[in-house]
């Protein structure tokens, strides 16, 4: 009788422990807690679309996938003409760091040029469609001058400055040869950084990259010949390769970052900051970008 009671007690105890463990796992899943012990084949999907103007959301998503043990690899889907230099470089660096911990495969859509290509370069593998527009390794600095227009409407502009070159590139005065040399030096420096980033990311000699880094664009098929991409294929091909690299058996589960919920105040702040940034760019007359220009690709 005592043995039977002991056996029943042990059974009840084991059931309670099992139920408790199940509740913990369920709670963690419901709370979307990271680093949960879980076996499965999950591939994270991060999308970069449109102009690159800010890197914060991309970096946040990348860190979440990096730190989540359920995510075995990431596919980076790019459809972008590029954009601002700083954010492109920040995204490049985070991609490079990510590949030291997990695998990343890039899938290029219709367009992955200039800054859009820059951020792809350090990935473990790059897929492009045969007709993807890519490359455009170069830097663009847009300058404007409205001095003549102001004169026609009878307006004059006066600038007080602390140094001779403080207003280089100003839209309200003519550019001097010295101004041009200084700004060209900045462009050349940024271009050199771009070339080195591609060479390091793709493991191609700098001289080899330099020969094609004159701003020209390539089709995906051409880019393959120049070693700028690894294979021709679509998003599904990239997902399959990422699963293979991560050792996932069978069809992987695709995980997308949760959509960012924006409040009214977020839209107001973002709209205001965009207007201020545009105003500053107009007044300075200077905007350096890793960006593909051309109405066909906007």
32, exposed or middle or buried, with CB in 10 Å at 0-12, 13-18, 19+?
Answer: exposed
Separation between Cα atoms, residue 170 and residue 228, nearest integer Å: 37
- Expressed in angstroms, the distance from the first to the final Cα of the chain is 83
pLDDT tens, 22-60?
555 555 554 444 333 334 589 999 999 999 999 999 999
Told to judge if 227 belongs to the known catalytic residues of this protein, a careful annotator would answer no
pLDDT tens, 148-176?
665 677 666 667 778 877 767 666 677 78
Nearest CA among 92, 75, 115 for reference residue 248: 75
Where does the pLDDT of residue 297 fall: very low under 50, low under 70, confident under 90, or very high at 90 and above? very low
Separation between Cα atoms, residue 234 and residue 129, nearest integer Å: 6
Whole-prediction pTM: 0.75
Q: Which of 164, 166, 262, 279 is catalytic?
A: 166
Where does the pLDDT of residue 128 fall: very low under 50, low under 70, confident under 90, or very high at 90 and above? very high
State the helix-helix crossing angle for 177-202 and 85-98, rounded to 10 degrees.
20
Mean pLDDT of 51-80: 96
Told to judge if 166 belongs to the known catalytic residues of this protein, a careful annotator would answer yes
Q: If you average pLDDT over every residue of the chain, what do you get?
A: 81
150, exposed or middle or buried, with CB in 10 Å at 0-12, 13-18, 19+?
Answer: middle
Where does the pLDDT of residue 123 fall: very low under 50, low under 70, confident under 90, or very high at 90 and above? very high
Q: Which of 107, 114, 136, 287 is catalytic?
A: 114
Pair 291, 114: CB distance under 8 Å: yes
Where does the pLDDT of residue 295 fall: very low under 50, low under 70, confident under 90, or very high at 90 and above? very low
Where does the pLDDT of residue 280 fall: very low under 50, low under 70, confident under 90, or very high at 90 and above? very low
Pair 212, 226: CB distance under 8 Å: yes
Kindly list the structural domains of the chain, giving each domain's residue range(s) and its CATH number in brackets, ordered by start: 37-297 (3.90.226.10)
């Amino acid at each position: 009788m005592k043995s039977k009671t002991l056996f029943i007690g042990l059974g009840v105890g084991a059931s309670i422990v099992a139920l408790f463990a199940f509740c913990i796992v369920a709670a963690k899943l419901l709370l979307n807690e990271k680093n949960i012990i879980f076996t499965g084949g999950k591939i994270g999907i991060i999308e970069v679309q449109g102009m690159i103007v800010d890197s914060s959301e991309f970096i946040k998503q990348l860190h979440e996938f990096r730190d989540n043990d359920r995510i075995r690899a990431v596919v980076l889907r790019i459809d972008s003409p590029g954009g601002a230099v700083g954010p492109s470089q920040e995204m490049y660096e985070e991609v490079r760091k990510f590949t030291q911990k997990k695998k990343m495969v890039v899938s290029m859509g219709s367009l992955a040029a200039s800054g859009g290509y820059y951020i792809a370069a350090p990935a473990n593998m790059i897929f492009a469609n045969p007709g993807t527009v890519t490359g455009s390794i170069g830097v663009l600095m847009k300058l404007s001058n409205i001095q003549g227009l102001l004169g026609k409407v009878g307006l004059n502009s006066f600038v007080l400055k602390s140094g001779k070159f403080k207003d280089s590139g100003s839209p309200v005065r003519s550019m001097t040869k010295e101004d041009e040399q200084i700004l060209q030096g900045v462009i050349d420096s940024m271009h050199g950084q771009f070339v080195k980033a591609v060479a390091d990311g793709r493991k191609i000699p700098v001289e080899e990259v330099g020969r094609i880094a004159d701003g020209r664009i390539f089709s995906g098929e051409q880019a393959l010949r120049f070693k700028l991409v690894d294979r021709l294929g679509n998003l599904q091909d990239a997902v399959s390769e990422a699963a293979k690299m991560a050792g996932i058996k069978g069809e992987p589960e695709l995980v997308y970052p949760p959509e960012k919920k924006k409040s009214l105040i977020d839209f107001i702040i973002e709209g205001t900051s965009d207007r201020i940034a545009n105003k500053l760019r107009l007044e300075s007359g200077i905007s350096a970008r890793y960006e593909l220009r051309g109405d066909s690709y906007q």
